[in-house]
Amino acid sequence: MNKVLSILLTLSASFTLLGAEMPVERIYVSTDREVYIAGDVVWCSLFCVDPQGRLSSQSAVSYLELISTEGTVAEAKVGLLAGRGAGSFRIPVTVPTGVYRLVSYTAVNTNEEGTPWIAGSRILTIFNTLSAARVKDGVEILDEGSYSRLQRTSSPTCGSVEFSSSARVRKGSDVGVFIRNNGPVAEMSFSVYHEDDIIPAAQDNSVGGFLASLSSSANPDFIGDRPLEYDGEIITAHVKGRMTGNSLTTLSSAGAPSNLYVGLTDNGRVSFMTNNIYGERDIVCEVSGLDGEGGAIEIDNPFIYPSSGPMPKLQLSKVSQSDLVARKVALRGERTLRLDTLSTLTRHREDLFLESAPLKRFHLDNYTRFPSVKEVLVEIIPMLSLHREKGKNIIRITVIDGADVYKTRVGNLLVMMDGVVITDIDKLLEFDAMLIEDVDVYQQAVTCGPVSFSGVANFITKRNYVTALSFPSNVRVLDFKGVSYPVAYYGTPPEGDGEDLRQVLYWDPALRVGAGAQERITFRAPGYQGRFRAVADGIAGDGSPIHHEWTFEVE
């Protein structure tokens, strides 16, 4: 154990040094559209670049906040891979009508003096169709005549990307769009959405303006010491209660896929260097040396809740009422059409504990069912054996060598339930074995950071019952909002019996078109008439901006 602690302390010192090397990076945010209603999902695409406008491979996670002049109303984490990221979040149904700023920043951005996230932020116009609440001093009421004279603003066309498609299509038909790139490789987001007569608040940023601003902020003053997250989110926590020196601490997520990370407490603090945990998960934290019933571990909040900066007002008129009703009906129909099942998971990096390790799975329904875990071990799983040492129950793992002779493997076995570390074997033995579906046994050494285990036994329950266990006082079960899964919607026709009222027809957060290449995109027109807008937004390989828009009619 002393050797393990020494290694961990060395890693901790190295980690601090790495955190001192602060890169300069900036994030530009694009979204699937500009106008939303409360309850809508916002799909995002991120471009993390260096001061020359080239995609950066430094940070592996970013943080998004949706803020008004009254504060933050929604948060999300988005993974970054070679400078590109994609994610989504749902606008709370309680947000008041108004104008919001969507900002994105990395951990090292928070160390800078000033507000480096403003230059790449995006203005979103949000209506709450269920409430009369409005952002304080953020809405201006216009009469019908004044509203009709408003003009929709858009970013200027730039870059070498061109669209080619029909200007009019029939509802319910397939639509093809050719995207030609006459310049260097193009990294873009591409969206096709319904454009009604609601006038969004004007954007105060564009990809061109963002890139032009990079030189003026290339040498920032760093006043903080939050470390660079080069592999993924660094989850930090503080431990309350008495501890016996520096204690090993584990963080594991309940359910599949499995994630396991090991940290070391230092003066009541602990850090877990993850490769990003995706989705909303129950996580279980255990501090080995925590003493006393009052002890607990609490995860730190990584968000910083910045100011929105100067914000335009939302110009509102009764003339928009019919369009808002149509949006409300479309949002209600999303569940009927099962749009959430039509999205496609895009490329991302995830460190899944045991993902590639060979295993032996025991599906207990294939055997005589036994009510106790002890009987399952004795009767069904020959390589696991229960022993009692120094007054405690332990499980040993055995393997079969080439001569078919059982040999007990030296070392410790990692016991898990639904991917959660179980150090108190009595808790496992007390569990109702009839609720266990599978037992996965890994008969080889596995390593988690600096800690090695002789093998792994993961008891998988039928409904993720592990979080219902009565854990000892040094264990805490927490709700954890991980990194958003990066998804695209490639225009797959919706299922279900409802009318096709989709507002977004296509969304690709990571469209890449090679130099001099051409891409063809196909999607299905909706079941209603209207005007639709296609938008490509991004950065070319030489650091120049790309923005192109095109409208067409569905008849």
> pLDDT for 219-252, tens place per residue?
999 999 999 999 999 999 988 877 666 677 889 8
Structure tokens at 38: 């409360």
Q: Of 142, 527, 92, 151, whose CA–CA distance to 320 is shortest?
A: 142
Beta carbons of 189 and 536 less than 8 angstroms apart? yes
Residues 330, 283 share a domain: no
Q: Is residue 419 part of a domain?
A: yes
Residues 327, 272 share a domain: no
Beta carbons of 196 and 326 less than 8 angstroms apart? yes
Q: What is the DSSP string of 116-149?
A: TTSTT-EEEEEE-TT---B-TT-EEE--HHHHHT
Q: Which tens digits make up the pLDDT trace of 310-339?
A: 999 999 999 999 999 999 999 887 766 656
Which of 85-99, 156-170, 355-369, 379-393 has maximum average pLDDT? 85-99
Residues 235, 158 share a domain: no
Mean local confidence (pLDDT), 179-205: 95
Q: Is residue 141 part of a domain?
A: yes
Residues 219, 99 share a domain: yes
Torsion sign across C-alpha atoms 284, 16, 215, 313: positive
Residues 217, 88 share a domain: yes
- Chain centroid to Cα 88, Å, comes to 8
Indicate whether 19 pLDDT > 60.
no
Burial (Cβ within 10 Å: 0-12, 13-18, ≥19) of residue 555? exposed
Residue where one domain finishes, among candidates 414, 440, 470: 470
Q: Which of 3-12, 416-425, 428-437, 487-496 has the lowest mean pLDDT?
A: 3-12
Residue 197 is classified by DSSP as: S
Structure tokens at 332: 């209600």
Go through the chain and tell me how many residues it has: 555
Residues 175, 97 share a domain: yes
Q: Is residue 72 part of a domain?
A: yes
Mean pLDDT of the chain: 88
Inter-CA distances, 379 with 290, 363, 418, Å: 36, 13, 21
Q: Which of 14-23, 137-146, 394-403, 467-476 has the lowest mean pLDDT?
A: 14-23
Residues 377, 525 share a domain: no
Classify 549 as helix, strand or coil: strand
Structure tokens at 227: 């470390």
Mean local confidence (pLDDT), 292-309: 86
Structural domain of residue 161, as residue ranges? 26-223+304-348+486-554
Indicate whether 14 pLDDT > 70.
no
Residues 126, 54 share a domain: yes
- Number of domains into which the chain is organized: 3
Residues 318, 207 share a domain: yes
Q: Which tens digits make up the pLDDT trace of 525-545?
A: 999 999 999 999 999 999 999
Q: Is residue 180 part of a domain?
A: yes
Residue where one domain finishes, among candidates 436, 470, 504: 470
Q: For residue 453, what are the β-bridge partners?
A: 446
The CA radius of gyration of the chain, in Å to the nearest whole number, is 27
How far apart CA 402 and CA 530 sit, in angstroms, is 70
Q: Is residue 295 part of a domain?
A: yes
Residue where one domain finishes, among candidates 284, 299, 314: 299
How far apart CA 208 and CA 27 sit, in angstroms, is 13
Q: What is the pLDDT of residue 198?
A: 95
Higher pLDDT, 291 or 187: 187
Residues 461, 375 share a domain: yes
How far apart CA 177 and CA 100 sit, in angstroms, is 31
Q: Is residue 478 part of a domain?
A: no
Q: Which tens digits make up the pLDDT trace of 463-522?
A: 888 888 888 778 888 899 999 999 999 988 877 777 889 999 999 999 999 999 999 999
Beta carbons of 480 and 280 less than 8 angstroms apart? yes
Q: Which tens digits make up the pLDDT trace of 441-459?
A: 988 888 776 678 888 999 9
* Residue 257 preceded by cis peptide, ω within 30: yes
Beta carbons of 274 and 259 less than 8 angstroms apart? yes
How far apart CA 285 and CA 282 sit, in angstroms, is 10
Beta carbons of 414 and 451 less than 8 angstroms apart? no
Q: Of 3, 16, 22, whose CA–CA distance to 271 is shortest?
A: 16
Q: Is residue 481 part of a domain?
A: no
Residues 316, 169 share a domain: yes
pTM for this one? Answer: 0.89
Q: What is the pLDDT of residue 239?
A: 85
Residues 538, 509 share a domain: yes
Q: Is residue 355 part of a domain?
A: no
Q: Which tens digits make up the pLDDT trace of 338-369?
A: 566 778 888 887 666 676 678 899 999 999 99
Give the CATH number for residue 460.
2.170.130.10
